[in-house]
Amino acid sequence: MVSRAAEFEKLLREMHAFLKRNLRDETPRPLVVEFTGSPDSGKTTLINGIDSIFRNSGFRVHRPQEGAEVFRALSRKTPLYNLTTGAYGLINVSSAATGRDYDVVLLDRALYDAHGWMLFWRRKGNLNEQDKKEFQRFFTHPLALEYIDLCLYVVCSPKEAMRRAKLDAPTIVESKEGSYTNLKTIGELVEIFTRSHDEMNTNGKPVILIDSTHLSKPQMFDKAIEAVFDAVKRKVAAK
């Protein structure tokens, strides 16, 4: 019986051949995976690990800079912040859809992320229901969303998230802009991104929810790699 690991290696080889093949007018686009979720849930750890797996398998991997780093000077107190990072995510998706310089593109927050944050700002009263829906429809329009092969929603309980944050920064200083590193806000974000996942899943989108609260890093990687495995399988089958 072939192990899942061996099957995954075989799929990676097939995917590599698929991406390198020559078509008359078009070569296949990259595999695009988005990561979103609540703070300190293990999202960056997963991105780093999956990046390493693909690079060590001979793939050209692109990781655009996260919007939070690009727009650091922009206040996080209004929806404009997440509208801006969402628009930046749209640019990255568009580039991935039309570019052929990479085999795999890993997006640290993009269109699914914007969908979730619109729920957050609606709950805070900064958006009315109509505006929330219109912005969500824009960011999840099929013209762009179809180019994201998989989105991993990663969440973690507030207490565990705070514990992890303290390991990285023993003294947590609340920023003047308002920090997300507090139990109440993290709890809200867990609920919001879980809801966003459920809505997208109900609509048949390729999304997976990973609750890392009680998972070790190997267990978390197993769940993520399994989801990526299925995304690769779908891509290879599409040929």
CB 165 within 8 A of CB 181: yes
User: Which of 153, 119, 144, 148 has its CA nearest to residue 133?
Assistant: 119
From the CB of residue 97, how many other CB atoms can be counted at a distance below 10 Å?
A: 16
pLDDT for 177 beyond 60: no
Residue 87 has pLDDT above 90, yes or no: yes
27-237 fold: Rossmann fold (3.40.50)
| The residue count for the chain | 239
Q: Residue 102 and residue 59: Cα distance in Å, rounded?
A: 8
Q: How confident is the model at residue 67 (pLDDT cuts 50, 70, 90)?
A: very high
Give the Cβ contact number of residue 214 at 10 Å: 9
Q: pTM for the whole thing?
A: 0.91
Question: With 80 as the cut, is the pLDDT of residue 26 above it?
Answer: no
96-100, 151-155, 206-210: the lowest-pLDDT one: 96-100
